[in-house]
Amino acid sequence: MKLITRNTDYAMRALCHIAKQRKESVSAAEMVAALKIPRPFLRKILQTLSSEGLLRSTKGQGGGFALSRSPQKILLTDLIRIFQNTIQLNECVFKKKLCPNRNNCALKKEIDAIEQDVLKRLRGISIASLGNGHHPARSNQGKCHVHHSSVC
């Protein structure tokens, strides 16, 4: 039972990496080198992020990817929705009709409640909140070396 999959995790890293760079755009090649993610896989992920509107891409030489909105507005839940196609923890194993007792299922109610909590917390996690949103207030406090990504 994993809360996030590799897709989601890689996407998070890539987005954080882009956020840290102050460039117009960051190429897949650069991210492969920096993040040690298999190239074809990362490319696929970046393409998905593009088509989903989280990244803008520019083709051709010198091209690459850039965030299409501010890091504060890119949430972990966005990525989960994209790569894990649902965010429901509950997904009653009895699809619709089958369960005779769907409305007063005690277990379902409990899990629904837990799900609400989890969602609330997940919605608080963004690219920015993971420490690379270059908030003026927090960024690189006087140290001159670039710090490593804090997304493991």
Partner DNA sequence: CGTTAATGATACCATTTGAGTATCATTTGT
Partner DNA sequence: ACAAATGATACTCAAATGGTATCATTAACG
Q: Is 115 in the site for a copy of itself (CB under 8 A)?
A: yes
Q: Is 23 in the site for DNA (CB under 7 A)?
A: no
Cβ(4)–Cβ(121) under 8 Å? no
# chain residues binding DNA, by CB under 7 A: 30
Q: Which amino acid is at 11?
A: A
Residue among 59, 61, 93, 137 that touches a copy of itself (CB under 8 A): 93
53 vs 124, beta carbon nearer a copy of itself: 124
Residue among 39, 102, 123, 138 that touches a copy of itself (CB under 8 A): 102
Q: Is 6 in the site for a copy of itself (CB under 8 A)?
A: yes
Helices (H), the chain: 6-20, 28-35, 39-51, 76-84, 106-122
Look at residues 14, 29, 123 and name the one whose alpha carbon lies nearest to residue 66.
14
In which element (H, E) is residue 57 found? strand 55-58
Binding site for DNA (CB under 7 A): 1-2, 5-7, 27-29, 38-41, 43-44, 46-47, 50-51, 57-65, 84-85, 93
